[in-house]
Amino acid sequence: MPIITVEHLSKHFKVYKRRTGFWGNLSSTFSREHDIIKAVDNVNFTLERGELVGYIGANGAGKSTTIKMLTGILVPTSGHIDVMGLMPYRHRKENTRRIGVVFGQRTQLWWDLPVIDSFELLKHIYEIPQNLYKQNLEFFSELLQLQPFLSTPVRRLSLGQRMRCDLTAALLHNPEILYLDEPTIGLDVVAKEQVRQFLRQVNAERQVTVILTTHDLNDVEKVCQRLIIIDSGKIIYNGAIDALKKRYGKTRLLIVDLAQAYSDIQLEGVDLTRRDGNRIWLAFDRDTTSASEVIAQLTARYEIQDLTISEPEIEEIVRRIYELGMH
């Protein structure tokens, strides 16, 4: 049985239009026109216990809105959410006891208090038995090397240190699900790698179900088994990362700098995916078309200054899916 079931989930926001100028302001006061923004639009997915899933999308795609509905702090406009048999917004307190949440942009630690005091407070808030608390604190301090700054006030921690403490704070009460909203944002490469390794380990050793949103596709590639891509409130991909790579990874990309901006570019077996001045991006299927054929065609018809071939990384695949939609 899935730990999370989301069916036909939608969240619409009313955005009031503001007219400018004096009369505009005045008329806005009396009658307000609004647009409906479909932040999440008929989304369906399930998560099994112990899965580690990446939930990605561009800014404003609906990632955080989905997470907020799953954690129970936002009520869906329509649709159904089942998290461990609970309706999150209706059973908010009960739900919060069994989940851990980390927002990369925000800390749940008390700014002025030493880290350890925040953990103590959480022990009481979640009513964690003393022996479990001690055991967990030791486990996470060891794994994330928290010892050197446990008695430092949170406001004096570096972003990387703070994130390690926030991860601990979210896991002290042994949650069954961990929601992470951009956990690696702003971190340097070393700190990012530390967080990723930690998530893999927590997921493997403690069977915590993890759902993480991110902009950094390295997070997804290195941590997650499954990927859900959301765009304009709709899910456009839901499946294994390998499958995505296989499906879209056949495409190679040729980046060409032309000598001049040709108005009309016609090539066989090649898609012109992007154009920026004299630079063009050409995609082609490596099974049916070879790079030399494409280059031969190009040099025969146009004057070329420079070119590079790139194998598609997950980042490129996802960017193309955002831009072109699923085919």
Partner 1 sequence: MIKKYLTFTVKAFQRTLTYRFELWMELLINVLFMLVYVYLWKALYTGRTSVEGYDLNGILTYIVVSQTLLTFTFTLRIARIIEEKVRTGEVVTDLMKPIDFQLMTLATAAGTSSHTALFNMLPKFLLFYGAFGLSLPPSLLTLSLFIMSVVLGYVILFSIEFIIGIFAFWLVEIRGLYAFVIWGLAMLFSGYFLPLEFYPTFLAKVAAVLPFRAIIYFPTAIYTGQFIGEHLVTALLIQLAWVGALVGIGRLGYRAAFRKLVIQGG
Binding site for partner 1 (CB under 8 A): 11, 13-14, 39, 65, 68, 71, 73-75, 89, 92-94, 96-97, 101, 103, 106-108, 110, 112-113, 117, 120-121, 124-127, 153
Which lies closer to partner 1 via its Cβ, residue 77 or residue 232? 77
Amino acid identity for residue 239 in this structure: G
Which lies closer to partner 1 via its Cβ, residue 112 or residue 323? 112
Q: Residue 136 CB, nearest distance to partner 1 (Å)?
A: 17
Which lies closer to partner 1 via its Cβ, residue 83 or residue 298? 83
Q: Residue 72 CB, nearest distance to partner 1 (Å)?
A: 8
Neighbour count for residue 66 (Cβ, 10 Å)? 29
Which lies closer to partner 1 via its Cβ, residue 108 or residue 297? 108
Q: Residue 166 CB, nearest distance to partner 1 (Å)?
A: 10
Q: Residue 73 CB, nearest distance to partner 1 (Å)?
A: 5
Which lies closer to partner 1 via its Cβ, residue 71 or residue 251? 71
Give the separation between CA 11 and CA 69, rounded to whole angstroms.
9
Q: Residue 185 CB, nearest distance to partner 1 (Å)?
A: 15
Which lies closer to partner 1 via its Cβ, residue 151 or residue 290? 151
CA torsion sign for 279, 280, 281, 287 is negative
Q: Residue 99 CB, nearest distance to partner 1 (Å)?
A: 8
Q: Residue 96 CB, nearest distance to partner 1 (Å)?
A: 5
Question: What SS3 string covers the chain?
Answer: CCCEEEEEEEEEEEEECCCCHHHHHHHHHHCCCEEEEEEEEEEEEEECCCCEEEEECCCCCCHHHHHHHHHCCCCCCEEEEEECCECCCCCHHHHHHCEEEEECCCCCCCCCCEHHHHHHHHHHHCCCCHHHHHHHHHHHHHHHCCHHHCCCEHHHCCHHHHHHHHHHHHHCCCCCEEEEECCCCCCCHHHHHHHHHHHHHHHHHHCCEEEEEECCHHHHHHHCCEEEEEECCEEEEEEEHHHHHHHHCCEEEEEEEECCCCCCCCCCCCEEEEEECCEEEEEEECCCCCHHHHHHHHHHHCCEEEEEEECCCHHHHHHHHHHHCCC
Q: Residue 273 CB, nearest distance to partner 1 (Å)?
A: 35
Which lies closer to partner 1 via its Cβ, residue 83 or residue 283? 83
Give the separation between CA 184 and CA 198, rounded to whole angstroms.
12
